[in-house]
């Protein structure tokens, strides 16, 4: 079953700034958050995102993050969540940011880290989505880098929102694989999610997504 009635899904956007120099160097430039809150038989969803432009200060992202994750009774989850937290902690002021302290040293928030491996190697997020039939963004690292240096973050932000929804669906697949109760909860939540996405007209609502039950087998 769900660890708490409030699930906050975190997806961090890392930019590969070393690709043109032939080195592996990534920096976090933003994040998207999807919150699902159980309210009796209903589920309330909210989605938000924040992408830093090259001229923005890291403090603005950390402050935005704190408004979403420092919440009583919430469970923070995400694909390779601990790696995402470490990435955010590398930002200036990250070690002292209330949001990151709540998810690390202070342990004020429950954490649920999703991951997958193949032959002992960690499976990247987009590969995990593909393997489970879940639609995610078609973000291209080179295009994202060019957009970011031009301070054009609209497409990056749209991709981040699609991916945080995909991360939530990965959570549902994990729930459905546990037992019959988890399968029932996941199916119900997926139904609520589809209705909400359709109501707000989010592009992810029309994306092809495999049914949870066959995927979880």
The ranges of the chain with pLDDT < 70 are: 1-4, 18-24, 105-108, 203-217
Structural domains in the chain? 6-216 (3.30.420)
CA nearest 148: which of 48, 14, 24?
A: 14
pLDDT for 183:
87
For the entire predicted model, the pTM comes to 0.88
Q: What is the pLDDT of residue 47?
A: 95
Q: Annotate 90-103 with b (16+ C-beta within 10 A) or e (fewer).
A: ebeebeebbbbbbb
- Residues 120-172: pLDDT tens digits? 888 999 999 998 889 898 888 888 888 998 999 999 999 999 999 999 999 99
Q: In angstroms, rounded to a whole number, what is the distance separating the alpha carbons of residues 60 and 93?
A: 11
Return the pLDDT at 162: 93
pLDDT of residue 212: 47
Query: What is residue 38's predicted lDDT score, i.e. its pLDDT?
Result: 85
């Amino acid at each position: 079953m769900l660890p708490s009635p409030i699930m906050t899904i975190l997806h961090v956007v890392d930019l590969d700034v070393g690709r043109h120099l032939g080195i592996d160097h990534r920096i976090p430039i933003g994040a998207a958050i999807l919150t699902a809150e159980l309210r009796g038989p209903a589920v309330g969803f909210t989605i938000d995102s924040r992408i830093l432009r090259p001229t923005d200060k890291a403090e603005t992202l950390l402050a935005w993050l704190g408004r979403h994750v420092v919440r009583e009774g919430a469970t923070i989850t995400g694909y390779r969540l601990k790696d995402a937290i470490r990435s955010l902690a590398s930002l200036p002021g990250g070690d002292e940011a209330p949001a990151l302290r709540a998810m690390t040293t202070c342990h004020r928030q429950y954490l649920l880290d999703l991951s997958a491996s193949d032959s002992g190697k960690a499976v990247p997020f987009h590969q995990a989505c593909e393997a489970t039939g879940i639609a995610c963004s078609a973000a291209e690292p080179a295009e994202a880098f060019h957009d970011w240096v031009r301070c054009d973050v609209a497409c990056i932000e749209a991709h981040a929102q699609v991916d945080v929804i995909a991360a939530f669906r990965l959570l549902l697949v994990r729930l459905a694989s546990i037992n019959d109760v988890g399968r029932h909860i996941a199916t119900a939540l997926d139904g609520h999610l589809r209705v909400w996405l359709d109501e707000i007209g989010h592009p992810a609502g029309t994306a092809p997504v495999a049914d949870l039950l066959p995927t979880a087998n």
